[in-house]
Amino acid sequence: MSTCKGAWKLQEVRDQILAGEWIQYDASLDPGTLWSWGDNGDGQLGTSTGNISQSSPIQIPGTSWIDVAASSNTGFARKSDGTLWGWGDNNNGQIGDNTILRKSSPVQIPGTSWNDISGAGSVLARKTDGTLWGWGYANRGALGDNTTINKSSPVQIPGTSWNSVSGGETHTMARKTDGTLWSWGYNRYGKLGNNSLTNTSSPVQIPGTSWSDVSAGSAHTVARKTDGTLWSWGYATEGRLGNDLITPRSSPVQIPGTSWNNVSTGRGGNHTLATKTDGTLWAWGRRSSGQIGDNTREAQSSGRSSPVQIPGSWSGIHAGTSSSFARKTDGTLWSWGYNGSGNLGDITSINRSSPVQIPGTSWNDTASGTFTLARKA
């Protein structure tokens, strides 16, 4: 069973119905308010309050927000009317407003009918017609538009029928409605997963079919198939691949376990969170700042190389650069890991190696870079 986010994404619903899936509407994903905390050196908190960091949630102006994304110092959010907004650092044109000027409050990105968005070094966003668009950093082909030239406004990525997208630090993964998986950008350590080490500036297909979810990290990628199995490839140091491997892989290798549900990698980081269908939460990879959440903190050379369980019953996850966030079924939001700029939102600047609760309730999806964005329903 899948959940339909916000105002019904009609094309996805149609695809899921044709595939014989049950659709469940989740009212907690309705439009709501947007909140931020953490570092604010580039105005990435979006509140027009100068460059002062915040260690607890503050509200960003506006309502009807239904989706959030973040790169290192730039925030993005989508409204229920299909408009897309950005703010913060803009040195590579990553806000997408046809300038390279930083913004300390949300400005609209050209276009309408935007659907999901993913931000990292490059920014990728999908429209309701299944087209995919990118802007920002393009070195080594990271945008996927067959160039290496930065863009300050949206340009279309080749192909149609795109269903979801996940941007890593220098590479991108995207899935089509037919269950195929595609990648482009920087291919060091084989993180594109196409059995090569060659960079590519346009989409290339990953072996296999029936892919249902994907998350691109700094130097590795993790993806789930419709049968509930989980697969990884790319850089293996510090246990990033989650299957006890210590050498890089340029094509998918399976992670132990079944019934995997959701997955999230730190887009600028080196750890992974994943949930199973029973609501359990698992983590692996780097743990130097406590971002695994298993009450340990070790040197960077000593990560978790296979999934370890985090206590509790969870319904939503987000892996940041060196911090982690997870939501429980009661709408409470929890965080752990690096907290130097108040990233965890717990009114302190102390790193945490196990989950601590963030003030407030009715929390929904979360995104983070050097700061954190979260939405309430």
State the pLDDT at residue 299.
61
pLDDT at 229: 97
* Least confident piece of the model among 11-15, 128-132, 177-181, 286-290: 11-15
318 phi, psi to nearest 5 deg:
-150, 125
Average pLDDT over residues 315-335: 96
pLDDT at residue 222, as a whole number: 97
- Which whole number is the average pLDDT over 273-300? 91
Q: Give the global pTM.
A: 0.90
Using alpha carbons only, give the angle 289, 173, 371 rounded to the nearest 5 degrees: 35
pLDDT for 361: 92
Residue 117, strand partner residues: 125
Average pLDDT over residues 157-176: 95
Q: Could you give the count of Cα atoms lying within 13 Å of 345 in the half-sphere of its Cβ?
A: 29
Tell me: the pLDDT tens digits for 181-205? 999 999 999 999 999 999 999 999 9
pLDDT at 11: 42
Which residue carries 């990233």 as its tokens?
343
- Per-residue model confidence (pLDDT) at position 297: 78
Question: Does the pLDDT of residue 368 top 70, yes or no?
Answer: yes
pLDDT confidence of residue 240? 94
**What pLDDT score was predicted for residue 301?**
56
**How high is the mean pLDDT of the chain?**
90
- What percentage of the chain reaches a pLDDT higher than 70? 91
Closest CA to 206 of 219, 218, 228, 190: 190
In this prediction, residue 20 has a pLDDT band, given cuts at 50, 70 and 90, of very low
| pLDDT tens-digit map of 2-11 | 333 433 344 4
What per-residue confidence (pLDDT) applies to 210?
A: 96
- What are 51-65's pLDDT values in tens digits? 899 999 999 999 899
Report CA 185 to chain centroid distance, whole Å.
Answer: 17
Reading the block at residue 179, the tokens are: 């269950």
Q: Which helix (H) or strand (E) holds 165?
A: strand 162-167
The per-residue pLDDT for 12 is 43
Specify the range with the lowest mean pLDDT, choosing from 7-11, 129-133, 230-234, 330-334: 7-11
* Residue predicted with more confidence, 248 or 302: 248
Helix (H), strand (E) at residue 109: strand 103-109
pLDDT bracket for residue 121 (50, 70, 90): confident
Per-residue pLDDT reduced to its tens digit, 38-50:
999 999 999 988 8
The answer to whether residue 377 scores a pLDDT higher than 90 is no
pLDDT for the residue numbered 209: 87
Does the pLDDT at position 340 exceed 50?
yes
The pLDDT of residue 27: 44
- Residue 338 in this model has a pLDDT that exceeds 50: yes
DSSP 327-351: EETTS-EEEEE--TTSTT-SSS---
Residue 18, pLDDT score: 46
| Alpha-carbon dihedral angle through residues 214, 322, 269, 282, given to the nearest 10 degrees | -40
Residue 307 scores a pLDDT above 60: yes
